Amino acid sequence: MKQATVLYWASRALRTHENPAFYQAQQIALTQKAQLIVLFNAYPRFPHANLRNMDFLLKGLAEMSDTCAQLNIPLYFRVGNIIDHLETLKQTFNIQHIITEVHVLRPLLAVQALVSNWSYANQIRFFKVNTACVVPVQEASPKLEFAARTFRPKIMKIYKDYLEMDIHLIKHPQTIILDDRFKVADIAAFYASTPLPYIEPSKLLPGETAAIEQLNFFIAHGLDNYDRRNEIDAKGQSYLSAYLHYGMLAPTKMIREVLNTNHPNAALFIEEAMVRRELAENYCFYNPNYDKLEGAWPWAIETLKRHEQDERPYLYSRESLEKAQTHDDLWNHCQRQIVEEGYLHSYLRMYWAKMVLLWTKNASEAIDILVHLNDTYMLDGRDPNGYTGILWSVAGVHDRPWFDRPVFGLIRAMGKEGSLKKTKIKL
Ligand SMILES: Cc1cc2nc3c(=O)[nH]c(=O)nc-3n(C[C@H](O)[C@H](O)[C@H](O)COP(=O)(O)OP(=O)(O)OC[C@H]3O[C@@H](n4cnc5c(N)ncnc54)[C@H](O)[C@@H]3O)c2cc1C
């Protein structure tokens, strides 16, 4: 009889620190004197997979694999149909448990359903653990929240209970041959066998070490200016969103360490990095239409439909927008930065998105174009924050009705002059 094995299927939490799914997998393995293995399965045809996002992901994964190896835990990298790979792994390992992360977006939920069914058919226990939020989405709220003001009191009342977690991985006593584990050298082989759409890789350093360094840098140098983060030159933003998206940084560690500074700006950061971020998780978890106009509240759908026939000052195709070929130098600047760097300042993301509503046929088309641009180019794209940010900008999700205007209806409008003033950007 082969020794029992616990498999941690990693996809959303590419870290070894404060990773509740990985930790629980190890705890079960320790209790059952089982082996522990990690699987990462890549889908090259996953929506919007490209060289920029895969490069960041794979280099971070290689670092995670090295740390796992020091803990006697092999991390295997597979490409394509996960069920085929699980079948193959089952021939070598007596898999008894599969533990993975809670996801809220449709593509990964679909794959998780396949793995859940396969596990059931093979009498393997399968379950998901929260890794992306401080407070697990269903514990923060049992329902779709209407606005930050309805969600904030709920999460603020309980979040500190989730911050003090002592969940360190230890060197695993059951050793496995580590030869086949994922290494940085495997990345080139993957690229050679799997052509990906070329988008220039980001200059941001990937991996959990870089993520923690960025957090430390922000606490030492950025937090002081967080209240002035709308001004471009203040550099008050944390630049942590990509690390959070790939799970290279634990949200618990980030919130705890910022809170422990007792800095007057800590509350502002917690509002964005926990309340708003976990409200986005709530929105996508409870609303399968998170990336469509149908996912907006009835008042917003109604006002946008009523203004659908309004004359637009300009009409641009997706191609013109993607190539930053509009009449507006501020908007073109934003779009070029997204394409070249994969990052845009928070305030400008709102301006960037709202202008697309103004310059396209209707809100549904605007949302489709924004999802395409955001998910293709942003390093932190394909994230609940992205869909929520787009739906907030175009369709008033979590916002309130404003004053009736052409095209926008009751959706909050933004103008170029105001955005230039607020960000103090010099074009
Ligand atoms: C149209 C539009 C598209 C967006 N697309 C994305 C996206 O694809 N991925 C993404 O992570 N964020 C997205 N955001 C939210 C926000 O703009 C970014 O999270 C932020 O700019 C990232 O930079 P930072 O980490 O330096 O932010 P900081 O201000 O330092 O914030 C720290 C963290 O708080 C969270 N956060 C900040 N602002 C928000 C917000 N408004 N809603 C939810 N969480 C927030 C993020 O996780 C961020 O990393 C989008 C917003 C809009 C309006």
Q: Are residues 244 and 361 located together in one domain of the fold?
A: no
Atom index in ligand 1 nearest the CA of residue 239 equals 26
The H or E element that residue 79 is part of is strand 75-79
- Quick check: 152 pLDDT over 90? yes
CA of 224 to the centre of ligand 1 (A): 19
Give the per-residue pLDDT at 314: 98
User: Which atom of ligand 1 lies nearest, measured to the CA of 352?
Assistant: 1
Residue nearest atom 47 of ligand 1, based on CA coordinates: 241
Q: Which residue has the higher pLDDT, 178 or 328?
A: 328
Answer whether 127 contacts ligand 1 (Cβ < 6 A): no
Domain end point (choices 227, 261, 286): 286
CA 327 to ligand 1 center in whole angstroms: 27
Asked whether residue 143 falls in the same domain as residue 31, the answer is no
Q: Which of 286, 302, 336 is the last residue of a domain?
A: 286
Residue 349 in domain: yes
Segments forming the whole domain that contains residue 353: 291-423
How confident is the model over 75-119, as pLDDT tens digits? 999 999 999 999 999 999 999 999 999 999 999 999 999 999 999
Instruction: Place 179 in a pLDDT band, splitting at 50, 70 and 90.
Output: confident
Q: Is 383 in the pocket of ligand 1 (CB under 6 A)?
A: yes
Indicate if the alpha-carbon torsion angle 118, 122, 123, 129 is positive or negative. Answer: negative
Return the CATH number at 11: 3.40.50.620
Q: Does any ligand 1 atom lie closer than 6 A to the CB of residue 76?
A: no
The pick from 272, 281, 374 for probing ligand 1's pocket by mutation, whose C-beta has the most ligand atoms within 8 angstroms, reads 272
Question: Where is 70: in which H helix or E strand?
Answer: helix 51-70
226-271 pLDDT, tens digit each: 999 999 999 999 999 999 999 999 999 999 999 999 999 999 999 9
Evaluate whether residue 161 is within a structural domain: yes
User: Among 59-68, 109-118, 187-196, 406-415, which is the least confidently predicted range?
Assistant: 187-196
pTM (two decimals): 0.98
> 136 and 281 share a domain?
yes
| 399 found inside a domain | yes
**Same-domain check for residues 124 and 137:** no
Q: How many domains in the chain? A: 3
Is 282's C-beta closer than 6 angstroms to any atom of ligand 1? no
Q: Does residue 171 form part of some domain?
A: no
Same domain, 139 and 277: yes
Chain segment 369-391, per-residue pLDDT in tens? 999 999 999 999 999 999 999 99
- CA 303 vs. chain centroid, Å, equals 30
The amino acid sitting at 409 is G
Kindly report the CATH number assigned to the domain that includes residue 379: 1.10.579.10
Instruction: Look at residue 21 and tell me if it is in a domain.
Output: yes
Residue 309 lies in a domain: yes
Residues 343 and 229 in one domain: no
pLDDT, residue 46, reads 85
151 belongs to a structural domain: yes
Res 43: pLDDT? 87
| CATH code of residue 139 | 1.25.40.80
Reading the block at residue 299, the tokens are 């008042």
Mean pLDDT, to the nearest integer, of 132-140? 98
Contact 386, 285 (CB under 8 A): no
Q: In terms of domains, do 8 and 126 share one?
A: yes
pLDDT score for 316? 98
* Any domain includes 326: yes
Q: Are residues 389 and 295 in the same domain?
A: yes
239 lines ligand 1 (CB under 6 A): yes
Bridge-based pairing state of the strands 4-9 and 35-42 = parallel
**End-of-domain residue from the set 130, 146, 174:** 130
Find the mean pLDDT for residues 28-50: 94
Q: Please indicate, yes or no, whether residues 103 and 93 belong to a single structural domain of this protein.
A: yes
Q: What is the C-alpha separation between 58 and 50, in angstroms, rounded?
A: 12
On the question of pLDDT at 1 being above 90, the answer is no
**In a shared domain, residues 267 and 137:** yes
- My answer on whether 410 and 397 are in the same domain is yes
Mean pLDDT across the stretch 357-380? Answer: 98
Quick one: 279 and 346 in the same domain?
A: no
Task: Tell how far the Cα of 346 is from the centroid of ligand 1, in angstroms.
Answer: 6
Nearest to 197 by CA among 426, 376, 22: 376
* pLDDT(214) > 80: yes
